[in-house]
Structure 1
Amino acid sequence: MGFKKARVDGFVTAVERRLAPLQPKAGKTAQERRSRAAAFDPVMTTALGIVPVDVATEEHRLTVPGHPDARLRVYWPTPERSEPAAANGLPILVYFFGGGFELAGIDWVWWDASFRERARDAGIIVIAGEYSLAPEVTYPAQPEQCWTIFEWAATHARQLGGDPDRLAIGGGSAGGNLAAATTLMNRDRADRPVRLQLLEAPLLDMTARHLDLQAPASLAHRLLFRHLAGKIVRQYLGPERKTRLEPYASPLLAPSHAGLPPAVIYTAELDALRGDGEAYARALSDAGVPVSCLRMIGQHHGSATYRGHVPMADHLHRDIVATLRTLHDDPHPYTTEHTS
């Protein structure tokens, strides 16, 4: 008995039929795409009924030597800021948004609402990092900005009411690339005790060897990932193809993944980036790193956005919250012996 051809979740299709008349035309330049996507963000979130919850926040701007400043926003799990903690501080998740390296930011309604809900529901501090966008700013500025944000989070954890021994690094899509790069940079530069890397539909191989351009489930997503495979990669990394092989550009291609933190990776069946996340899970496992990878059937790259309308999107939120809540507990002592 043969398998049926993969198809989009009916709940996703219903949401996209509602949103289709509201979507702007695709822009020809990065600036046009950024502007139109930014304008669509509040339209989409209003249509989906997404309202940011009330939690305490605080913003900082950091100097990054040799690169533009980096901005971050701290989210606490309650409307009141946590007091500095000498002990028993809250876990901290440092998270980087996605947007193909060319759009989005921590001020976007959807991302801001997501950070607020994750902080509240998991009972943790979320530090949302904002990096510069391409093509105005190019690699390696973005990994260095993210590294600076992570270092600030680690060194200021106690002042924020957090625990420097309960750190996690996460990101979605392009932000997943930068999160994975940051874990490599931490291993190579500081080796701080990161408890978890949380990656959602991550882009991890900029050579596009693991990209499946037949996977996207709609014309918009096919165009997006065809663009990711070519123009966006070039505008982020530049014309030199060898740059795509650098570990901080393509974390999947790092010579070694040993010593990286345990990982939880989410991929979507109809996402062109599915191969990146799943290949990274195998690479981590081969290196002896504890890893879990969940493939969401019937979903595409953006369908996790549709909270409150798509059951899988709601389940993903609950699963991520449950994963983040494990940061409150002592880590499980997995054996260090591993045979690849």
Structure 2
Amino acid sequence: MPRRSRFRRPLLDSAVAAHEKRIAPLLAPEPADPAGRRRVAQENDVRVSAELGIEPIGTATRDHVIPVVGHPDVRVRVYWPGPEPAPAGSDLPILVYFYGGGFTIAGIDWVSWDARFRERARDAGIIIVAADYAHAPEQRYPTQPEQCWSAFEWTHASAKDLGASPSRIAVGGASSGGDLAAAVTLMNRDRTRHPIALQILENPALDLTIGHADMSGISARMPGVIVRKAGRSLVRQYVGDDAASAREPYASPLLAASHEGLPPALILTSELDPLRGDGEAYARALSHAGVPVTAIRFIGQTHGSLGSTGFVPAADAAHRFLVSQLRTLHDGGVV
């Protein structure tokens, strides 16, 4: 009989475990009310960033406020790769990116996200436009995808003035931001069909019915029923009590009737993340529709650990890989 491996059960990466142990004492409990939870989460981000020495590097940035028809305006922040804005007509690639935070917390002013955008822009030699979309439950679907769509449309129209090329635009996002990034690619296909060279989805949530969540890798200390309950709570805050809204394609891109005509995709998933099921199912759906797709699963990683660059080797590897893929846009390449 073949020997049974003692590593058969998914195990947490030891570097992730050490990192989580280090920051755990710094995290204040988050209250139940949305505004209070958001405030404390940002305070935790400031405290953890200070402890870890995370500081945004001095790349050039500029904020703009973009009107959104029928919804609140959205603020975007443009990140250039160097200390000065790129001159108009520089023809750099540009990435429109949507942060992750379960639709309810985080934003471009968080130290960790701001630092990540600056580092990626510098290392890839590209421009990043990060959208500060509205939080649920104060603003609900479809406000967020419409804001993200408006940010994308503005980026396309403003690309040359920003020093970018309108034919070298990528769209990306993490977690809930990955959901919004995928929604924007669907909206673009359905509305204007601007060229999108690449979509990057990092541990994305793509089925808000929770129908594709994969609980096989999570810790026995966190039963799947609890994870599903927490996920459904976030979804209700985002889409409201009408379950049908969660099945709409701009809310759950994985459930769209067709995925044909979407841009090439790079999808990163983590073994110990329930959203792994969403990302890998979306990779299969895109491939079935004839869309070029590369999907990579990081063993031993959790939902948030790939953001821990400088502390988790797998996160450093993910960063280098993402940068290498973004750099192909300088030559018009794709994954």
Same fold (TM over 0.5): yes
CA distance, structure 1, for counterparts of residue 86 and residue 184 of structure 2: 26
Q: Among residues 27, 31, 34, which one is paired with 1:27 in the alignment?
A: 31
| Matched-pair contact (CA < 8 Å) for 2:210–2:228 | no
Match of 1:324 in 2: 326
Match of 1:8 in 2: 12
Match of 2:82 in 1: 78
Is 2:293 the partner of 1:285? no
**CA apart distance, 1:175:** 0.2
Aligned length: 331
Match of 1:155 in 2: 157
Match of 1:338 in 2: none
Q: Is 101-110 or 218-227 further displaced after alignment?
A: 218-227
CA distance, structure 2, for counterparts of residue 290 and residue 229 of structure 1: 30
Q: Is 285-294 or 212-221 further displaced after alignment?
A: 212-221
CA distance, structure 2, for counterparts of residue 17 and residue 223 of structure 1: 25
Q: Among residues 135, 138, 162, which one is paired with 2:137 in the alignment?
A: 135
- Pairing 1:217-236 to 2, within 5 Å after superposition: 217=219, 225-236=227-238
**Matched residue SS, 2:254:** helix
Structure 1: any 5+ residue segments left out of the alignment? 335-340
**CA apart distance, 1:214:** 5.0
CA distance, structure 1, for counterparts of residue 206 and residue 212 of structure 2: 9
| Matched-pair contact (CA < 8 Å) for 1:48–1:308 | no
The residue type equivalent to 1:204 in the other structure is L
Q: Among residues 110, 113, 116, which one is paired with 1:114 in the alignment?
A: 116
CA distance, structure 2, for counterparts of residue 101 and residue 221 of structure 1: 23
% same residue: 54
Match of 1:189 in 2: 191
Cα distance 1:111–1:219, how it changes in 2: closer, same or farther (>3 A)?
A: farther
Match of 1:271 in 2: 273
CA distance, structure 2, for counterparts of residue 58 and residue 133 of structure 1: 22
**CA apart distance, 1:230:** 1.3
The residue type equivalent to 1:141 in the other structure is T
Per-residue CA deviation, residues 236-286 of structure 1 (Å, 9 max, x unaligned), is 001111111110000000000000000000000000100000000000000
**CA apart distance, 1:44:** 1.2
Q: Is 251-260 or 31-40 further displaced after alignment?
A: 31-40
| Matched-pair contact (CA < 8 Å) for 1:216–1:301 | no
Match of 1:51 in 2: 55
Is 2:171 the partner of 1:169? yes
CA distance, structure 1, for counterparts of residue 220 and residue 84 of structure 2: 42
Per-residue CA deviation, residues 148-188 of structure 1 (Å, 9 max, x unaligned), is 00000000000001000000000000000000000000000
Q: Is 255-264 or 220-229 further displaced after alignment?
A: 220-229
**CA apart distance, 1:29:** 2.0
| Matched-pair contact (CA < 8 Å) for 2:197–2:332 | no
TM-score (normalised: structure 2): 0.95
| Matched-pair contact (CA < 8 Å) for 1:106–1:130 | yes
Structure 1 stretches of at least 4 aligned residues deviating more than 6 Å after TM superposition: 220-224
Cα distance 1:281–1:303, how it changes in 2: closer, same or farther (>3 A)?
A: same
Match of 2:262 in 1: 260
**Matched residue SS, 1:243:** helix
Q: CA RMSD in A?
A: 1.7
Q: Is 228-237 or 107-116 further displaced after alignment?
A: 228-237
| Matched-pair contact (CA < 8 Å) for 1:100–1:228 | no
Cα distance 1:106–1:224, how it changes in 2: closer, same or farther (>3 A)?
A: farther
Structure 2: any 5+ residue segments left out of the alignment? none
Match of 1:123 in 2: 125
CA distance, structure 2, for counterparts of residue 176 and residue 95 of structure 1: 9
CA distance, structure 2, for counterparts of residue 147 and residue 169 of structure 1: 11
The residue type equivalent to 2:194 in the other structure is R
CA distance, structure 2, for counterparts of residue 133 and residue 248 of structure 1: 17
CA distance, structure 1, for counterparts of residue 305 and residue 127 of structure 2: 25
The residue type equivalent to 1:188 in the other structure is D
**Matched residue SS, 2:107:** coil
| Matched-pair contact (CA < 8 Å) for 1:217–1:271 | no
CA distance, structure 2, for counterparts of residue 139 and residue 188 of structure 1: 18
Match of 1:105 in 2: 107
CA distance, structure 2, for counterparts of residue 41 and residue 227 of structure 1: 25
Is 2:190 the partner of 1:204? no
The residue type equivalent to 1:76 in the other structure is W
CA distance, structure 2, for counterparts of residue 232 and residue 34 of structure 1: 13
